[in-house]
Amino acid sequence: MNDYFKLQNVLFCEDDKLATHWKMFFHGSQPAYDRQNRCIVIGAGQVVDFCTYFNSIALRKWRTYTWADKLILKLRVQGKIEICLTGYEKEDNRYIRRIVARKKINAEEEKEIWIPYPDKPLELAGFEVHALEYSTIFEGEYGTEVQADKRNHVSLHLITTTFKKEEYILPNIELLKKTVLTEKRLEEISDRESLAKNFWIHVVDNGRTLSPEQMEADHVQLHPNLNTGGAGGFTRGMLESLEHREKPTNVLLMDDDVLVLPESIIRTYQLLRIQRPEYKRHFISGAMLYYEEMERLHEDVGYVNRTGEYGPLKSRINTAKIEKVLRREGQKKNPDTAYAGWWYCCIPVEFVRKDNLPLPLFIRGDDVEYSLRNKAEFITMNGICIWHKGFSNKFNGAMEFYQVHRNSLILQAASGVCRNIDFMDRISKLVRVNLLRFNYDGAEQLLDAVEDYLKGYHFLMKNQGEKLMKEESSKNEKLISLEHFPEAPMKPYEVYNDTPRKPLETFLYRITYNGHFWPSCLLKKQVVPVAYDWFYSPHLYFFRRKLLVVNPAMETGAYREMDRKRFIRILRRKHRIMKQYKETHTHVEREFREHRDEMTSESFWRKYLEIDQK
């Protein structure tokens, strides 16, 4: 078949870290993995279902976004088996599982088989293997037929930014060298359009702790950089890719502290190779799964809601359950505040231009602003993803209170996005909430965010992100082991249970600012454990003198105590800053808007990053 084109590989769950999560790869029986021969072995009578998060194919999406109108299953097998081609059709709001074809194979020797799928309107397609005797599957893939004149040339440049995270970045780059870039010499690969020949890696080292000897190789470059956060690191990578001898067609941004699956990059590249012209401007937005709970999918497309909160557009799911995967794969109209996170985001070079670089936000919000400014549309696909480390158990006030809210005001002002969202109303309410639960440092961080925004665009153009983060991080609560607290709960996650307030309690809580304007002798002395993060439980805070805040994931905590003097001082500061905002925000916003093009230009960034002017 001269027109045959591979779409994606069938995965065997080879990584030891994923072995206990095999239901992301197989349903029914778990096959045995033969590590020496890199194949899977299925015992007589076993049935293995490959219609899973990683081994199904999102057929409707492939047919929509690419020229993959046909679907072919290609396997290399040995033994006596029956293969059932399966898939899910959507009827009304239900997904109906179908067996669309069957084929019996009797292969005494290793044999390659091709089985075409009938032309059915399947959402997801997959297959089952029924072993009639002891059998082996050596490899498998889904493919299609695409004529040469419909195939695109793709030059894919990966950019990853790191800051003193050698334990993550070094294994990831080594893995990509051995897989995506292949172990054999690149010049020996005859196919000019192979991924290995057209994949380039730019490692931007914001910590300047890596050496070329540790990292560089054919198609891998190291770029020492100032610590300018994710925004500065990714911008440096964009500039380097644009200056590269092999000009990119697409740029793939990826975090450093992730577990990467090489197959995600393969699927991204194959999709780009046969992408229909009308979808070439779409961003490919990879999903982020939790490293600590590897089956849990957190987000593939995010959005900013009407109250100014950032979060996933679709529901979080357990990827081991195919019905959850199906419902998530259903197309959902993206609001105008939808964005792609830069943990894994593939952007057409049409947008990655020297006059269209990110804003210098240091960290948080750079990916949001870039998506919204460019009115991005998105492609998501099951199996194109990463696992992010530490995302599920960290709450950092410097990030969540200061950085996020300062940058929300900046991106709204500079790029004219999120116009219907009142970020100042959200900040005002959060200051009050944090005062009520004695988190005075958190309230200060929120007010710092507004105060620094009001300093205007000149403030943003100074390379001081690292300094500011250190200052704000010094205000974060210092949590220590729960062993040091007699009030620590036996079951730490119980801090997320809340009891509704009584009407009188609610009334007194509000008019007294939770006891800040109430006699001390009438406050409760007992210390209660509460959640340290966003979780709000006013019944537990009510009229307490002291709280124990708990991080259940890390089993750490800290005391918070009522401080009336500090409360009054912060309240006065809030009124002063809010008055200043009302008087000056129109002028500040106009200046940000007028200087946005300057802040996203090559000349500005080269000066900011202290690299040679071109």
DSSP secondary structure of 555-609: TEEEEEE--HHHHHHHHHHHHHHHHHHHHHHHHHHHHHHHTHHHHTSHHHHHHHH
Residues 34-46: what's their mean pLDDT?
A: 95
Same topology, domains 4-150 and 156-388? Answer is: no
**pLDDT number for residue 333:** 79
**pLDDT number for residue 393:** 66
In this structure, what token pair is assigned to residue 26? Answer: 């197989």
Chain segment 300-336, per-residue pLDDT in tens: 999 999 999 999 999 999 999 999 999 887 656 789 9
E strands in 24-134 = 27-28, 32-34, 39-42, 47-49, 72-91, 94-116, 124-131
- Would strands 135-145 and 199-205 be described as parallel, antiparallel, or unpaired? unpaired
| Residue 47 in this model has a pLDDT that exceeds 60 | yes
Neighbours of 230 (CB within 10 A): 24
Chain segment 188-205, per-residue pLDDT in tens: 555 778 999 999 999 999
| Residue 460 in this model has a pLDDT that exceeds 80 | yes
The mean pLDDT of the chain is 95
Which of these ranges, 174-188, 205-219, 599-613, has the smallest mean pLDDT? 174-188
In this structure, what token pair is assigned to residue 204? Answer: 């931007």
Among 385, 381, 284, smallest CA distance to 58 is for 381
Chain segment 83-94, per-residue pLDDT in tens: 999 999 998 888
What CATH class is the domain 156-388?
A: alpha beta
Domain boundaries, the chain: 4-150, 156-388, 397-565
In this structure, what token pair is assigned to residue 569? Answer: 């001082």
Write down the residue that tokens 């950085």 correspond to. 403
| CATH T-level fold of 4-150 | Jelly Rolls (2.60.120)
Dist CA 377 CA 334 (whole Å): 8
**pLDDT number for residue 68:** 98
Chain segment 559-593, per-residue pLDDT in tens: 999 999 999 999 999 999 999 999 999 999 999 99
The end-to-end CA distance of the chain, in Å, is 48
Among 427, 333, 415, 402, smallest CA distance to 366 is for 415
235 close to 225: Cβ distance less than 8 angstroms: no
The sign one gets for the Cα dihedral 240, 242, 247, 250 is positive
430 close to 496: Cβ distance less than 8 angstroms: no
**pLDDT number for residue 613:** 66
Buried residues in 45-69 as b, exposed as e (16+ CB within 10 A): ebebbbbbbbbbbbbbbbbebbbbe
Among 598, 527, 604, smallest CA distance to 560 is for 527
**pLDDT number for residue 93:** 83
Residues 412-416: what's their mean pLDDT?
A: 97
Torsion angle, alpha carbons of 461, 467, 470, 472, to 10? -50
| Residue 149 in this model has a pLDDT that exceeds 70 | yes
Chain segment 56-83, per-residue pLDDT in tens: 999 999 999 999 999 999 999 999 999 9
| Residue 544 in this model has a pLDDT that exceeds 90 | yes
Q: What is the pTM of this model?
A: 0.95
Dist CA 609 CA 591 (whole Å): 23
| Residue 184 in this model has a pLDDT that exceeds 60 | no
**pLDDT number for residue 16:** 86
Percentage of the chain lying above the pLDDT 70 cut? 97
| Residue 394 in this model has a pLDDT that exceeds 80 | no
Q: What is the residue-wise DSSP string for 387-438? A: EETT-SS---HIIIIIIHHHHHHHHHHHH--STT--HHHHHHHHHHHHHHTT
Chain segment 233-252, per-residue pLDDT in tens: 999 999 999 999 999 999 99
Percentage of the chain lying above the pLDDT 90 cut? 91
| Residue 1 in this model has a pLDDT that exceeds 80 | no
Residues 543-572: what's their mean pLDDT?
A: 97
